A and B are shown apart, each in its own frame.
Chain A
Amino acid sequence: MASPIQHASEASHSRPILPVLEREKLILSGRSYHWITARICGVLENQQPLLWWLLFIPSALIAAIGVGGGLFYLVSTGVGVWGNTNRVMWGWPIVNFVFWIGIGHAGTLISAILFLTRQNWRTSINRAAEAMTIFAVMCAGIFPAFHVGRVWMAWFLAPVPNANAIWQNFKSPLLWDVFAVSTYFTVSLIFWFLGMVPDLATIRDRCQPGIRKIIYGILSLGWRGGNRQWSHYEMAYLLLAALSTPLVLSVHSVVSFDFATSVVPGWHTTIFPPYFVAGAIFGGFAMVLTIMVPARFIYGLQDLITMKHIDNMAKIILLTGTIVGYAYLMELFVAFYSGAIYEMDAFKFRIAGPYWWAYAAMMTCNVIAPQVFWSRACRENLWVVMIVAMFVNVGMWFERFVIIVTTLARSWLPGDWKTYAPSAADQILFIGTIGFFLSLFLLFLRFLPCINIAEVKWAKRESDPHYEDHVEHPDPGVIKEPAYQHELAQLSAQKPAIGNLEPQLSIPQ
């Protein structure tokens, strides 16, 4: 390859030379298509590492005891075992519902919004993030379904005629929520599955004849990868992205309507929908990092999920965290500016009341902790990234706790004031959903392709059908400046980061 400087000097007499930042490589070390296939399929074809079992067995046990046992105890005894009271009637179950549904937002954001905005770096992380969405929404769904009190009557939420001849109240945000969350789950599932069909076909074609091949064959629907299929498929993917983009924004907006439409100090504000959506994306990306940083390390996916991906996610966390911080402060300002004593008291109670520690935890974890990502050194240090992501996970839970519990614990009448505490049943069920989420994700890693194989191949530069033409006719008027990765390579040569343990693997034929 000719040196770029040489080209520049040849062309200098004709026109000014413009420095152009070279586009990032999304796949490092020049991996071949076959390497990509083999490495991603290897995750599910090879024996799982010991760590997988060490994580899966406790997660599955926690899920069985927490969700299975917890719900059995709840249903057989009654919802009185939860810590909810007449006043704090939502309590932990709805805190956990909003927490999980928020986590479910990053997946569709990565799949849909970053697809429409042509952010090609999404290809390496979208599959796992979408899986995370599905599992988080499953965890979220448990809480409202059982919070209705008599779970065997949860079908009353569906718009079908029931024994009382009363129809659902379509004017209620709670019913909007039922529609929003179930639509979100269904469309996310379609998106996830359709995106996976070509990759399931890849796995099918690598299987020896047998039961595995039959199962993956059925799941892949007989996909052949012909352009007459790809053409419709790409259109379907684009349409789903276009449909999911407003959907993902609507879901947490509708969740926020549950609060914002009730005339309760601290809830009745117009800032809630954007504030909830930003918070959901914020918490969702933190969970993607929490899961993907260890997974890329365990399965040796460093060339596919590069430091650039982590850097981008850290920046999104910084941005959305700052938006959330702005919303927290704006809430305070509006409470002050409204001159309404109840509104002001609600916020005074949040900050300095008996739940001050929850407010402080929320502020520290969500607003202060992500600010370290202004520094590039912090975004490149995976330990810092993991610790901040954990802070955000915790902080976002506390945000929902602050919104729900501190508001409900102080209603209009002082006679109603009460301090809320969760019961053991609340805590067991919440911990159980964490185990449920982790075990589903580990099963996903075990049985399904965790990175979008077809899209990662597409993101290679050689995949452009005009790539070879470009190579033959380089633009002589351009100096290519080395991309971020060159600098990063120099940086990691000086002090090896944990993520770069394996970039020198030989390229298989």
Chain B
Amino acid sequence: MSSTRQRVYGYLAEFKSASALYKAAEKVRDAGFKQWDCYSPYPIHGLDGAMGIKRSVLPWFVFCGGITGTATAFTLAYSTQVVIFPTVVQGKPANIFTIPAFFPIMFELTILFSGFTVLFGLLSLIRLPRLNHPLFASHQFHRATDDGFFIAIEARDGNFSTAGTRDLLEEIGGSNIELVAEED
């Protein structure tokens, strides 16, 4: 136990409500911090602006995924039905006029590929899954998924200082301020 080194993750402070968290976030943002986050049991609308976070880029990923799906379905249907193996069923044509009959599958694969892009795009953007995180070492952080509102400022941020950051968190109304450390 004594030989274990501790690596400081940062400060964790609790706020009493969503409103308090929102106002505190604006102040942390204005103090110039970059490596920090607000933790809440549900998404707080408007907090992105208060934290200075840009709009998510996920839609662009999904757009590309969707287009890939459309192209895949079209290529699959057209190449097999018209080019490789023209199947004449019920006298329906096997040429360029067949394309309208491919629309349902083109639509479905667009949605399918987009759906997978949402899942994997999201996971890569939020850097999950991961099995552990330094914040899980905190004795109060489990309340962030229940009824706690927290701000964590990370030690790797350039503006971080042991005394100054603590003072800032106290000043903006944080309580239960805790220095979170993980075993190195």
Contacts and interface: CB of A to CB of B under 8 A. Distances in A.
B56 interface: yes
Q: What 8 A-B pairs have minimum CB-CB distances, sorted nearest first?
A: A33-B147, A465-B22, A221-B129, A167-B80, A226-B37, A235-B56, A205-B142, A458-B42
B121 to A, nearest CB: 7
Contacts of A246: 107, 111
Given A159-B80, A463-B44, A227 B51 contact: yes
A417 B102 CA distance: 35
Contacts of B135: 224
Given A183-B109, A465-B19, A468-B19, 6 more contacts: A227-B37, A228-B53, A236-B118, A244-B111, A454-B41, A462-B17
A466 B19 contact: yes
B74 to A, nearest CB: 10
Given A171-B81, A227-B40, A240-B115, A464 B18 contact: yes
Contacts of A171: 81, 87, 89, 92, 98, 101-102
B119 to A, nearest CB: 5
Given A34-B147, A226-B37, A463-B42, A169 B87 contact: yes
A224 B40 CA distance: 9
Given A166-B87, A230-B43, A465-B22, A183 B111 contact: yes
A462 B17 CA distance: 8
B2 interface: no
Nearest to B125: A232
A165 B129 contact: no
A202 B41 contact: yes
B41 A33 contact: yes
B146 A34 contact: yes
Interface string B90-101: 001000001001
A183 B108 contact: yes
Contact of A202 (B19, B40, B55, B145): B145
B108 A190 contact: no
Contact of B37 (A169, A180, A186, A228): A228
A224 B144 contact: yes
Interface string B117-151: 01101110110111111010000001111110000
A225 B145 contact: yes
Nearest to A257: B104
Interface of B: 17-19, 21-22, 25, 37-48, 50-51, 53, 55-56, 58-59, 62, 76-77, 80-81, 84-85, 87, 89, 92, 98, 101-102, 104-105, 107-109, 111-112, 114-116, 118-119, 121-123, 125-126, 128-133, 135, 142-147, 152
A454 B131 CA distance: 21
A198 B40 CA distance: 11
A508 B73 CA distance: 55
Contact of A458 (B43, B56, B126, B133): B43
Contact of B62 (A182, A223, A239): A239
A173 B100 CA distance: 12
A466 B46 contact: yes
A164 to B, nearest CB: 10
Most buried by A among B21, B108, B109, B114: B108
A243 B110 CA distance: 9
Given A224-B133, A225-B40, A454-B42, A179 B109 contact: yes
Given A34-B147, A205-B145, A167 B17 contact: no
A166 B44 contact: no
A190 B147 contact: no
B118 A239 contact: yes
A463 B18 CA distance: 6
Interface in A451-486: 453-455, 457-458, 462-469
A24 interface: no
A465 B123 contact: no
Assign chain A's interface to a size class: 35 or more
A170 B42 contact: no
B145 to A, nearest CB: 4
A151 B19 CA distance: 58
B22 A239 contact: no
Nearest to A454: B42
Interface in A318-345: none
A222 interface: yes
A285 to B, nearest CB: 23
19 contacts: A33-B146, A168-B80, A170-B81, A179-B112, A183-B109, A187-B112, A190-B116, A191-B115, A204-B145, A222-B129, A223-B145, A226-B37, A227-B53, A231-B53, A236-B56, A455-B42, A458-B42, A462-B17, A469-B19
Contacts of A75: none
A176 B104 contact: yes
Main secondary structure of the interface of B (DSSP, over half): helix
Contacts of B98: 171
Contacts of A235: 55-56, 58-59
A346 B39 CA distance: 63
B12 to A, nearest CB: 11
A236 B121 contact: yes
Given A463-B42, A464-B45, A167 B51 contact: no
B77 A170 contact: yes
A34 B146 CA distance: 6
B128 A223 contact: yes
B118 A243 contact: yes
A175 B19 CA distance: 53
A233 interface: yes
A76 interface: no
Given A225-B39, A233-B43, A243-B111, A180 B85 contact: no
A254 B106 CA distance: 13
A179 B104 contact: yes
Contacts of B147: 32-34, 37
A194 B145 CA distance: 16
A257 B53 CA distance: 46
Nearest to A263: B90
Contact of B38 (A33, A187, A194, A227): A227
A228 B142 CA distance: 18
B17 A170 contact: no
B70 to A, nearest CB: 13
